[in-house]
Amino acid sequence: MLDFNHRPAFAECLNGLVECHLIEQDVQKAPREYLGGSRVGVACERALQFEYSQTPKDDGAGFGGRTLRIFAIGHALEDLAIAWLRGAGLELFTYKGNRPDGEQFGFSAAGGRLRGHVDGIIASAPASLGLGSPALWECKTMNAKNWRACVKDGVAKSKPVYAAQIALYQAYMEAAVSGISASPALFTAINKDTAELHHELVPFDPDLAQRMSDKAVRILTATDAGELLPRFTRTRDHFECRFCSWAARCWEMDR
């Protein structure tokens, strides 16, 4: 009988099939036709223009199988966090009616061209927590290094994109959930390496929300007018550029 476990190519072959499946699923997803509220905090406005206008990415810039697996694990951990918080006594709504087949809570602005979907809304919590309600709940998963930075410095300093998302969501969700901006949002960070949890109360920052709203309008307006917004940096080897899906296209332009 053949021992397939000792064939060096077996694991590689099976992983290749898994990755092909994940990539095929990702390619078949309908493209996002709006500017996502979770993305507005990204530093480079030009990159957000490219993303919003569905500009083709650089060759090889799509998500690989490993990255897609990381995304999937993040979604699974978020589902676990929901169960954990509910078990701890929080009345946490993730869909309208709290049904899996219900509509996700979110907002739409600028004629539907700016949208966001929230992870959850806390309707009540144990009195011992002193948590006001209704309150926005946002959950992120991180590797150990990023998680420790978040615990040490807080989300606003260590993860400004997440902080921008929270502020924008608190502002725009007010119309649908009255009072949601009056209570601090609950931000939960899960350490993917150790399963440690970090919870942080994030008061509403109206100035940050306004800046992000103005930024979204600037991106939409410039894109409509065919104007290219400036790069975030003047150096091609900047950290943001090295991980940008449009870096080659951007730096081939003369402006």
Which structural domain, as residue segments, surrounds residue 131?
8-61+73-250
SS3 for the chain, per residue?
CCCHHHCHHHHHHHHHHHHHHHHHHHHHCCCCCCEECCCCCCCCHHHHHHHHCCCCCCCCCCCCHHHHHHHHHHHHHHHHHHHHHHHCCCEEECEHHHCCCCCECEEEEHHHCEEEECCEEEEECCHHHCCCCCEEEEEEEECHHHHHHHHHHCHHHHCHHHHHHHHHHHHHHHHCCCCCCCCCEEEEEEECCCCCEEEEEECCCHHHHHHHHHHHHHHHHHHHCCCCCCCCCCCCCCHHHHCCCCHHHHHHCCC
Is 255 within the bounds of a domain? no
Q: Which CATH number belongs to the domain containing residue 54 in this structure? A: 3.90.320.10
Is 2 within the bounds of a domain? no
Q: What pLDDT score does 120 carry?
A: 96
Calculate mean pLDDT across residues 162-173.
98
Q: How confident is the model at residue 99 (pLDDT cuts 50, 70, 90)?
A: low
Calculate mean pLDDT across residues 102-130.
94
Is 67 within the bounds of a domain? no
Q: How many structural domains does the chain have?
A: 1
Q: What pLDDT score does 101 carry?
A: 64
% of the chain beyond a pLDDT of 70:
95
